[in-house]
Amino acid sequence: MKHNFGAGPCILPQEVFAQAAEAVLNFNGTGLSILEISHRSKEFEAVITEAEQLVRELLKVPAGHSVLFLQGGASQQFAQVPMNLLPEGGKAAYLDSGVWASKAIKEAKKMGNIEVVASSKDANYTYIPKEYTIPSDAAYFHYTTNNTIYGTELFETPVSPVPLVSDMSSDIFSRVIDVADFGLIYAGAQKNLGPAGLTLVIVEDDLLGKTGRNLPAIFDFKEHAAAHSLYHTPPVFSIYVAMLNLRWLKAKGGIAAIEQENIVKARTLYEEIERNSLFKTTAVPADRSRMNVNFVPAKPEVEAAFLDLAKERGLVGLKGHRSVGGFRASLYNALPITSVNALVDAMQEFEESFKQ
């Protein structure tokens, strides 16, 4: 058995894989593959409609917000967000809490004046900046909720005098949020939603069409909203698998239920890291992520040996990002507690081997 701790593309529920595999051969008895049905067909219209309804239901999306299924990943949104929300000659505010936040800042600067209100780069992004002021003359304030590379997560929604924009790529659907607090949320799918190739955008309609920019239609959120995410051929298969995954999440009791599971998984692993003499965490305790647990060996020379043991035990995807080193265990929604327990057992076994 494999235990997949990869940071993404990542684990999805086995029943979702099974249903998706069946649909690749014969989608809903049509005799056609989900990969070949028309995105204009009634069969796919039912898929995208259900997917949107599930997003709205699970996240309690309020009226006056559009739910968009787009392509290009979160990296495209680094540019597309300021294209749609930052007026020409205007200013936006950003929080720098990691690599992906810094990439968003870099792209936004091509669109206008960007004020970085705070950064934790000085400490290799091991914490979330706390003391900063959001300028009231900004068009919006952008921040990243979870930093996959550095293992930090911002759980409290900032109080802002301007619309909030958030990159929730790696923790959306993992914990309860109030969508009404945000002007725009975007998320690459390949963590807790579905396969890579799909990007979810939830945007307040009143924010659109006010920048004065003459955007190409393909980059204009208003065009995609008016076309119900069918302005051009959408990522049909990724939307279908996301719909299956959202069905799975709803059947489990929704986001409040999965959040409790995620709390237990993260607590179980962090407690073992703190107890075990051979490992230590990298993020400050107050900002530790539930989704991506980063830890390093107390003795650098044992890193390779532990990865070898992990491989023997079927624990995959544990090698840390090069910016941090050590290990990274991603605990996304579909990862069961049994996999976390298997990792804890391996860590305890590894520690015992050094006592002998």
What is the CATH architecture assignment of 255-355? Alpha-Beta Complex (3.90)
Catalytic residue selected from 96, 103, 110, 191? 191
Q: CA-to-CA distance for 133 and 246, rounded, in angstroms?
A: 37
- pLDDT of 356 reads 59
Establish whether 178 is a catalytic residue: no
Catalytic residue selected from 2, 42, 91, 100? 100
Fold of 14-251: Aspartate Aminotransferase; domain 2 (3.40.640)
Catalytic residue selected from 96, 167, 171, 287? 167
Question: Which of 283, 322, 319, 321 has its CA nearest to residue 303?
Answer: 319
- pLDDT of 283 reads 97
Establish whether 345 is a catalytic residue: no
DSSP H stretches of helix in 9-98: 14-25, 42-59, 73-85
- Label residue 302 exposed, middle or buried (CB < 10 Å: 0-12, 13-18, 19+): middle
pLDDT per residue of the chain (356 residues) written in tens, 0 to 9: 899 999 988 899 999 999 999 999 999 999 999 999 999 999 999 999 999 999 999 999 999 999 999 999 999 999 999 999 999 999 999 999 999 999 999 999 999 999 999 999 999 999 999 999 999 999 999 999 999 999 999 999 999 999 999 999 999 999 999 999 999 999 999 999 999 999 999 999 999 999 999 999 999 999 999 999 999 999 999 999 999 999 999 999 999 999 999 999 999 999 999 999 999 999 999 999 999 999 999 988 899 999 999 999 999 999 999 999 999 999 999 999 999 999 999 999 999 988 75
State the residue for tokens 């294209």: 83
From-to residues of CATH 3.90.1150.10 in the chain: 255-355
- pLDDT of 317 reads 96
From-to residues of CATH 3.40.640.10 in the chain: 14-251
Pairing of strands 199-204, 184-188: antiparallel
What order of strands is seen across the sheet that includes strand 327-330?
279-281, 292-297, 327-330
Residue 222, SS3?
Answer: helix
